[in-house]
Each structure stands twice: as C-alpha cells, then as structure tokens.
Amino acid sequence: MADVLLFHHAQGQTPGFLAFADELRAAGHTVHTPDLFDGRTFDSVEEGVAHAREIGFGKLLELGTRSADGLPPELVYAGFSLGAMPAQSLAQTRPGARGALLLHSCIPLGEFGPAWPDGVPVQIHGMDADPWFTEEDGDLDAARSLVASTDQAELFLYPGDQHLFADSSLAAYDRDAAALLTRRVLDFLADR
C-alpha cells in the first residue's frame, strides 16, 4: 500500500476533499492531508485563489514542502489544483518519490527542475473544457509537455468544463468523471 501526501485545492479542506482522502484510506493507503489554510475554506475557487495570493504562492509552496518533513521519503505526492504545486515540486525535487498525482492542474516542467525525475510515474487529470485547466494558466500545455518528456507520465482528459470535478462537496462535482478518476488513482496507488 502507498503512503500519500495529499494537498488540498484553493477552496481548502472541503468535505469532498476529505472524503476523497478517506476513500484512498479505505483502500488501505496511508494518506497525510496537511492544511495549508489553517482550517479556512472558501465558497469559490476565486475566493480561495485570492486568499492564496494574500498568503503568497511562494509561502504556500514552502509550507507544502515543509509538510513532508518527518515523513518517509517513499511518498506519492498528490494535489488538487492549487495543491498540485507543492505535490509536483516535491515529486521533482525530494529523493525517494514513488509517484505523483496532479489533479486538475499541472505546473510547467521547468518550474521545479529541468526534467521529470527517472523512476517517478505521474498521472495528470483534468477536464478537456475546464478554463482553469485549458486556458487560464496553461496547465494543459504543461501537462502535454510533461507527457512528451517522459514515458512515465499519463494525461487523462475527461469531457466537461468543471474545474474541481472530483470534489463531491462542490457544485463542480461530476459523479461519472470523479468515479473514473478515483479508479485510475487507486490503480496507480496499487502499484506503488
């Protein structure tokens, strides 16, 4: 079973985010869920992103990186949207990573190093018409670039335009897409 460090999205540790973590735990995995927002949650992605800007993305990255201190190096790093930033950084820079799960987001490969590390498989999940994923920040382009750079990366696109479609507590939730994403994530973790 895998040991997973799972980071929340810009709306914080919502009930749907925590339910996703519990689903991974129910499958036998150990899941750590650091709270980078100190218990705060937000009603919209925009409000959460505004809060993240107040804290500073660099500070959030630092907090996320520090949350791995004291944990074993053999982790799978996972993140929902904003949480993909520390997850991807740790997967690319912390020795011993067992894999990465980038949900609803992907950061350009050069942000955390020149190449994806050998021996670290990664899955990237997003909706094919989600403006946050396909347009706003260039996540889809970053994901395609990462996939083109290594045979260890998989990109899964789901039909739809919702951003946080795997969070069952949000209006963006898509039951069918979330079920398929969860099945793929559990298959990935079973091999770690």
Nearest to 127 by CA among 97, 169, 166, 73: 166
Q: Say which amino acid occupies 107.
A: I
pTM: 0.97
Q: What is the pLDDT of residue 135?
A: 85
- Token pair in block for residue 164: 């946080």
CATH fold of 3-190? Rossmann fold (3.40.50)
* pLDDT per residue as tens digits for the range 161-190: 999 999 999 999 999 999 999 999 999 999
Q: What is the pLDDT of residue 164?
A: 98
Helices (H), 45-174: 45-55, 57-66, 84-93, 131, 139-149
* pLDDT per residue as tens digits for the range 122-158: 999 999 999 999 986 689 999 999 999 999 999 999 9
* pLDDT per residue as tens digits for the range 79-110: 999 999 999 999 999 999 999 999 999 999 89
Helix, strand or coil, per DSSP, at residue 138:
coil
Helix, strand or coil, per DSSP, at residue 158:
strand
Q: What is the pLDDT of residue 136?
A: 66
* pLDDT per residue as tens digits for the range 7-24: 999 999 999 999 999 999
- Token pair in block for residue 40: 């705060």
pLDDT, the chain, mean: 96
- Token pair in block for residue 181: 């994403």
Neighbouring residues of 120: CB distance < 8 A, sequence distance ≥ 6:
91, 92, 97, 98, 99, 100, 152
Angle formed at CA 33 by CA 30 and CA 38, multiple of 5 degrees: 160
Q: What is the pLDDT of residue 18?
A: 98
Residues counted in the chain? 192
Q: What is the pLDDT of residue 155?
A: 98
Q: What is the pLDDT of residue 137?
A: 67
Helices (H), the chain: 15-26, 45-55, 57-66, 84-93, 131, 139-149, 175-190
Neighbouring residues of 140: CB distance < 8 A, sequence distance ≥ 6:
106, 126, 133, 134
- Region 37-54: mean pLDDT is 96
- Token pair in block for residue 162: 């919702």
Nearest to 79 by CA among 111, 147, 125, 112: 125
Residues β-bridged to residue 154 = 123
- Alpha-carbon gap, residue 192 to 182, rounded angstroms: 16
Q: What is the pLDDT of residue 191?
A: 86
- Token pair in block for residue 64: 């996320």
- Region 37-44: mean pLDDT is 97
Instruction: Examine the pLDDT at 44 and tell me if it is beyond 70.
Output: yes
